[in-house]
Amino acid sequence: MGTEHSKNEEQRSMVFLRKGPKLPAWEDALLAGREPKSLLKRGLRYVSLSLIMKGMTSTPDFLWGLHEVQKLNLSRNQLVVIPPSLGKLDRLVVLNLGGNCLKCLPKEIGLLRNLKVLFVNMNCLKEVPAELSLCRKLEVLSLSHNCISQLPLSFTDLTSLRKLNLSNNRFVQIPLCIFALRSLDFLHLGSNKLENIAESIQYLVNLQIFIVENNNIRSLPRSLCYISTLELLNVDYNSIQTLPEELYLLRRLRRIAWNPMDKGLHIAHNPLSRPLPEVVEGGLDVLFNYLRDKKERN
């Protein structure tokens, strides 16, 4: 009778365990005695490891021994600190730290000399380490949704950077170092506290997408009109009253755009002085003709 009772208890325990919360993949692997390297996935391009949404408050120690990993996703956890050991993963090409609680990045991030893509969006950063500029191969950088108000001058060394997202931060002006990033084709500074756009914007000669929506900008510099590569210019939700007469030089802007995803000129929700509101309603060609005629008259 006792033996039968024990078996029933054991069966009920097994059912309970099966119905319990599933362990994160990495904990499951370690409890089963598996080699941590078994978590790595070998794709056509990268050796990758994803620990997304695992509820982690700290990084597992075994992670820093996986020297062959090239693509690492630690996003959407509750990480407060990334340890200096990050620098050991010097083969990393893609690193996603988005959606955590990070207040800083370790200076050892500068040891990731092969890094091309870095996401640290949706964290609590107030500054960025100057050592990040040692990642000379970096092409894509997202620091959006943080508390950053300035960038280190050493960022001028990120000459390979093509896409930079600084939206939803605390910038009052565009950091000077950005104007040295001549390879930039995408720059997002929406939802900051910008009051103007410096004339130096003209040095970004390859810029195709420039977003500064939801700021405090009152006017656009003439130099902006000489970036002939611009295909999307978003200045929605600012305090712009007048437009530079040379705006018609931006011939790659195809339309007045209303959908945030569309290319063209986004200029809604600005206190444009008359007759600009009516002219804008006529479309981009009407606006460009108006500005061209105005310039010729002057």
Q: What percent of the chain has pLDDT over 90?
A: 82
Query: What distance separates the 2 farthest-apart alpha carbons in the chain?
Result: 106
pLDDT of residue 27: 67
3-class secondary-structure state, position 15: helix
The arithmetic mean of pLDDT across residues 169-180, rounded, is 98
pLDDT of residue 298: 75
The answer to whether residues 211 and 174 touch, using CB atoms and an 8 Å cutoff, is no
Q: 281, exposed or middle or buried, with CB in 10 Å at 0-12, 13-18, 19+?
A: exposed
| Contacts (Cβ under 8 Å, ≥6 apart) of 16 | none
Query: Which of 175, 141, 142, 146 shows the shortest CA–CA distance to 161?
Result: 141
The two three-digit tokens of residue 213, written as one number: 């929506």
CA distance 296 to 298: 5
| Contacts (Cβ under 8 Å, ≥6 apart) of 206 | 182, 183, 184, 185, 229
Give phi and psi for 132, each to the nearest 5: -60, -25
pLDDT band at 1 (very low <50, low <70, confident <90, very high): very low
Domains of the chain: residue spans and CATH: 39-297 (3.80.10.10)
Lookup result for tokens 């009109």: 225
Write out the DSSP string of 45-61: S-EEEE-TTS--SS--G
pLDDT digits (tens, 9 = 90+) for 134-157: 999 999 999 999 999 999 999 999
pLDDT of residue 24: 59
3-class secondary-structure state, position 164: strand
pTM: 0.89
pLDDT of residue 28: 63
Beta-bridged to residue 94, according to DSSP, are: 71, 117
pLDDT of residue 34: 65
Give phi and psi for 16, each to the nearest 5: -60, -45
pLDDT digits (tens, 9 = 90+) for 75-126: 999 999 999 999 999 999 999 999 999 999 999 999 999 999 999 999 999 9
Query: Which of 281, 186, 282, 278 shows the shortest CA–CA distance to 234?
Result: 186
Residue 249 has pLDDT above 90, yes or no: yes
Q: What percent of the chain has pLDDT over 70?
A: 89
pLDDT of residue 33: 54
The two three-digit tokens of residue 48, written as one number: 């990758």
